[in-house]
């Protein structure tokens, strides 16, 4: 980011950034910038000098007389004994870089640019920090420039390293696997390093690039917490360390392969952006800040100008068995129950009768669609829906015309044999000829068809991340993906794009800069989805969360879950359908149609309100969305299994106005199973205060497991 200097090096002992909810102070008195304070806004009579005085540390036995500050880029040469923020060398020499502050530029109370130079080792280090004034989210990156004449090999360049208070005792990470992403796990911080590394070549299902540092008493509604997310869609490294001296920090950056970044004279490398937030009021408040930032700074104006359409996706209804007669009937059924977009999934292009062939040949299969896709598109649009199409441009099947013509276009690790995954190899999209081929094919499809949406899939990891010359390629591959997406969006700004990488394999703020929606998981099992969506919501708002009603017989878990529960879970995101509409009973169709109507009724609230995840017993998952003015809200209570007591516990709502009288209604399902009369028979248009709902709570009824209830709250006039 650009900044006009208003602070000189001689007078900039401290730099302060401010937002509505927090304040950040950098100590620039020494050779390099370091975080002094990050937390609640301080009183006007509190000075940085006071904080620096209170932070004075003394020499400890058997330690250096000088305790090295934890700088934004801590270095080995400074005496720092933790993980260096910069690792670079010139053929094994000049690795002890020691850049010192040479200029500080700040043109607003929200941003600063700090340059540090090492004249001996010939490099320039730049730290850019921006504290969003409304959300309080910090966006920070580190840039290194080779100012010498000889190549500089870069092994690691982290985004700014941020100190974290030692009184916060816990780390919350986000783990998982395919079809079970975003699982939250909490462990105690310890002396030493907690490190997670991802080498999948994409964001990954198992190691989401995010961490939360919190107190042991912090929960959804109270307590301090800091959250960190690296906005990068490739390899990454996350670290939270407590040094032997008791100080702690978080450091994140791109994980680089050997020789991946070698900077020539005057060439630069910039780390991915680190997004970080602080909350003194619990984890839900922290999520609200990230959601506010995404809504205000990442989601495109085009996506915000219209409601997010209800999707119908054909995959689980037809798989590779495409024919217009069946697709026409599915389109009619989808439109009749309220779908607004019809997405044709895998199987429409040449040679694609199964997952073993065809990838790379992005031409409509004339043997399946002799008149092309336009008859189907015309049918879909005549029913009042827009049309979407599945693609997987980064991949190629060995059994394809493209691979037979260009076997050198794929990534590999010669002389090792190629590793197939889902019968696929990975195209080297950083090659100009590959990039141009893919752009031409996709541009042609979008230019000759009325396509409103691309479901952009990526169904394998990058096991062999080298190009045809033997150079490491993951970094260039990620940037090339961003470049290809940006080219398509410039040419077709009206087309929406979904990031779908076997579900949650590529979900981060980096890819979200180029897409409009994330397919959260390949699992449509409603019980699995509750936990997946719970974790996803830590950083992402509901409107970018693809959430679909799956089939009764879940193809991944084998569970059979009723339509009311499946629909209720999907209703709290960007809603869609994956069911085979030709096999639904009349009752199921009616119930699904009612759920879609309910989502449309509350869509504006769901996609703009403040998330409230509720503290729930281990047999239930609860959350809500409250409008910014607190005039209305929608809360969900899902019973996932049996409880040990006769009746479940009360549900304590959150985020309401305590002085407002609300009309409370249980609006879903139309009839909840209960063996005896319950509170649901009484909670219809009843009037209760926000204070009563939050402090006293509402007794939950005796219902069957795998039941989801929705409660509507509306300010009573």
Report pLDDT digits (tens) over 589-618: 999 999 999 999 999 999 999 999 999 999
Q: Reduced to 3 states, what is the DSSP secondary structure of residue 696?
A: helix
Residue stretches of the chain with pLDDT short of 70: 1-11, 672-674
pLDDT value at position 8? 47
User: Domain 301-404+418-458+481-608: what homologous superfamily?
Assistant: Aldolase class I (3.20.20.70)
Count other C-beta atoms under 10 Å from residue 439's C-beta: 17
Q: Tell me the domain boundaries of the chain.
A: 14-297, 301-404+418-458+481-608, 612-715
Distance CA 611, CA 599 (A): 16
Q: Which of 345, 522, 525, 528 is catalytic?
A: 522
- b/e 567-591 (16+ beta carbons within 10 angstroms → b): bbbbbbbbbbbbbbbeebeeebbeb
pLDDT value at position 631? 98
CATH topology classification for 14-297: Beta-galactosidase; Chain A, domain 5 (2.70.98)
DSSP tag of 134 = T
Q: How far apart are the first and last CA of the chain?
A: 47
pLDDT value at position 1? 43
CATH topology classification for 612-715: Immunoglobulin-like (2.60.40)
Q: Which of 27, 132, 346, 457 is catalytic?
A: 457
pLDDT value at position 122? 97
pLDDT value at position 9? 47
For residue range 337-358, what is the model confidence (pLDDT) as tens digits?
999 999 999 999 999 999 999 9
Q: Is 553 among the catalytic positions?
A: no
**Residues 337 and 593: beta-carbon distance below 8 Å:** yes
Q: Is 522 among the catalytic positions?
A: yes
Q: Reduced to 3 states, what is the DSSP secondary structure of residue 442?
A: helix
Q: Secondary structure of the chain: what % helix, strand, coil (to 5)?
A: 20, 30, 45
Matching residue, tokens 């699982």: 183
pLDDT value at position 405? 98
Per the rule left: phi > 0, alpha: psi between -120 and 50, beta: everything else, 375 is alpha
């Amino acid at each position: 980011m650009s900044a006009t200097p208003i602070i000189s090096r001689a007078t900039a002992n401290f730099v302060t950034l401010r937002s509505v909810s927090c304040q950040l102070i950098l100590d620039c008195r020494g050779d390099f910038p370091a975080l002094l304070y990050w937390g609640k806004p301080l009183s006007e009579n509190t000075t940085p000098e006071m904080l620096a005085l209170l932070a004075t540390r003394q020499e400890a036995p058997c330690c250096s007389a000088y305790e090295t500050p934890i700088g934004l880029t801590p270095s080995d040469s400074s005496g720092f004994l933790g993980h260096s923020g910069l690792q670079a060398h010139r053929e094994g020499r000049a690795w002890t870089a020691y850049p010192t502050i040479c200029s500080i530029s700040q043109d607003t109370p929200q941003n600063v640019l700090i340059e540090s130079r090492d004249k001996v080792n010939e490099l320039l280090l730049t730290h850019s920090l921006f504290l969003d004034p409304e959300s309080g989210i910090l966006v920070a990156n580190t840039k290194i420039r080779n100012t010498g004449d000889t190549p500089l090999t870069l092994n690691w360049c982290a985004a700014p390293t941020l100190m974290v208070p030692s009184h916060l005792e816990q780390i919350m990470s986000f783990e998982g696997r395919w079809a079970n992403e975003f699982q939250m796990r909490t462990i105690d911080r310890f002396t030493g390093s907690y490190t997670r590394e991802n080498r999948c070549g994409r964001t990954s299902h198992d190691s989401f690039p995010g961490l939360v540092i919190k107190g042991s008493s912090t929960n959804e509604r109270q307590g301090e917490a800091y959250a960190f997310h690296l906005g990068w869609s490739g390899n990454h490294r996350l670290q939270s360390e407590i040094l032997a001296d008791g100080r702690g920090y978080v450091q994140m950056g791109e994980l680089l392969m050997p020789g991946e970044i070698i900077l020539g004279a005057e060439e630069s490398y910039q780390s991915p952006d680190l997004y970080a937030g602080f909350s003194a009021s619990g984890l839900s408040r922290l999520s609200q800040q990230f959601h506010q930032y995404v809504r205000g700074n990442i989601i495109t104006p085009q996506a915000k100008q219209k409601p997010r359409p209800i999707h119908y996706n054909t995959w689980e209804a037809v798989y590779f068995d495409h024919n217009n007669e069946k697709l026409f009937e599915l389109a009619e059924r989808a439109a009749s129950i309220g779908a607004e977009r019809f997405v044709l999934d895998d199987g429409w292009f040449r040679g694609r009768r199964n997952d073993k062939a065809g990838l790379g040949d992005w031409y409509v299969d004339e043997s399946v669609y002799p008149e092309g896709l336009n008859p189907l598109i015309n049918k879909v649009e005549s029913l009042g829906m827009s049309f979407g199409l599945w693609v997987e441009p980064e991949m190629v099947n060995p059994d394809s015309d493209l691979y037979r013509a260009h076997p050198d276009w794929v990534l590999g690790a010669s002389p090792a044999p190629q590793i197939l995954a889902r019968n696929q190899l990975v195209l080297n999209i950083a090659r100009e000829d590959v990039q141009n081929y893919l752009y031409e094919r996709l541009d042609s499809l979008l230019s000759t068809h009325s396509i409103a949406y691309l479901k952009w899939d990526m169904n394998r990891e990058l096991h062999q991340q080298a190009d045809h010359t033997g150079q490491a390629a993951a970094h260039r591959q990620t940037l090339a993906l961003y470049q290809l997406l940006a080219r398509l969006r410039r040419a077709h700004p009206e087309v929406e794009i979904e990031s779908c990488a076997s579900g949650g394999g590529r979900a981060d703020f980096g890819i979200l800069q180029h897409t409009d929606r994330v397919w959260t998981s390949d699992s449509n099992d409603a019980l699995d989805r509750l936990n997946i969506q719970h974790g996803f919501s830590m950083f992402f708002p509901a409107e970018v969360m693809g959430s679909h009603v799956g089939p009764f017989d879940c193809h991944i878990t084998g569970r059979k879950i009723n339509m009311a529960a499946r629909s209720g879970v999907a209703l709290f995101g960007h809603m869609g359908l994956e069911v085979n509409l030709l096999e639904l009973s009349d009752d199921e169709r009616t119930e699904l149609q009612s759920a879609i109507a309910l989502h449309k009724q509350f869509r504006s609230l769901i996609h703009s309100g403040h998330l409230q995840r509720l503290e729930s017993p281990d047999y239930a998952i609860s959350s809500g969305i409250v409008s910014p003015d607190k005039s209305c809200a929608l809360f969900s209570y899902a019973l996932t299994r049996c409880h040990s007591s006769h009746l479940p516990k009360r549900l304590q709502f959150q985020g309401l106005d305590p002085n407002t009288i609300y009309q409370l209604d249980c609006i879903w399902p139309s009839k909840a199973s209960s063996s005896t009369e319950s509170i649901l028979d009484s909670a219809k248009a009843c009037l209760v205060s926000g204070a009563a709902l939050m402090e006293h709570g509402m007794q939950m009824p005796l219902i069957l497991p795998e039941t989801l209830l929705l409660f509507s709250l509306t300010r009573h006039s």
